[in-house]
């Protein structure tokens, strides 16, 4: 999926598995119009649909979550008019949060 958006990937999966918009939408609990908008990038997919997508298409849920989160991060970076440097800053923040979580867990014991 790396070179596709989640919506494009979902579209390809749906077509390759010979599912209609209505059929896949029913599995996800959304109407075909909403699914079409997701596939065409006019609407964002909800994270709550990821486990169902993983199950329907026999995908690794963690990989799908990683793609989903990375796409949302990319949307946020673009909408805030930031550049790629923000990713390096975010990595540093992740290390800080992880360290804080580990220290907090040790104190809770």
pLDDT at 101: 72
pLDDT at 60: 97
Report whether CATH 1.20.1370.20 matches the domain 6-83: no
Residue 2 structure tokens = 């790396």
Strand spans (E) along 48-92: none
Nearest-angstrom CA–CA distance, 84 and 47? 24
C-alpha distances (whole Å) from 90 to each of 7, 71, 86 are 25, 15, 6
Nearest-angstrom CA–CA distance, 9 and 3? 9
**Cβ atoms of 39 and 73 closer than 8 Å:** no
- pLDDT per residue of the chain (109 residues) written in tens, 0 to 9: 678 999 999 999 999 999 999 999 999 999 999 999 999 999 999 999 999 999 999 999 999 999 999 999 999 999 999 988 998 999 999 999 888 777 666 766 5
């Amino acid at each position: 999926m790396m070179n596709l958006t989640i919506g494009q990937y979902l579209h390809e999966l749906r077509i390759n598995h010979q599912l209609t918009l209505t059929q896949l939408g029913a599995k996800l609990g959304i109407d075909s119009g909403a699914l079409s908008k997701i596939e065409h990038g006019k609407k964002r997919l909800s994270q709550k649909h990821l486990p169902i997508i993983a199950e329907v298409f026999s995908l690794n849920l963690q990989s799908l979550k990683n793609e989903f989160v990375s796409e949302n991060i990319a949307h946020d970076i673009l909408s805030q008019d930031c550049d790629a440097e923000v990713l390096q800053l975010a990595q540093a923040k992740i290390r800080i949060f992880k360290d804080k979580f580990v220290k907090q867990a040790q104190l809770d014991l």
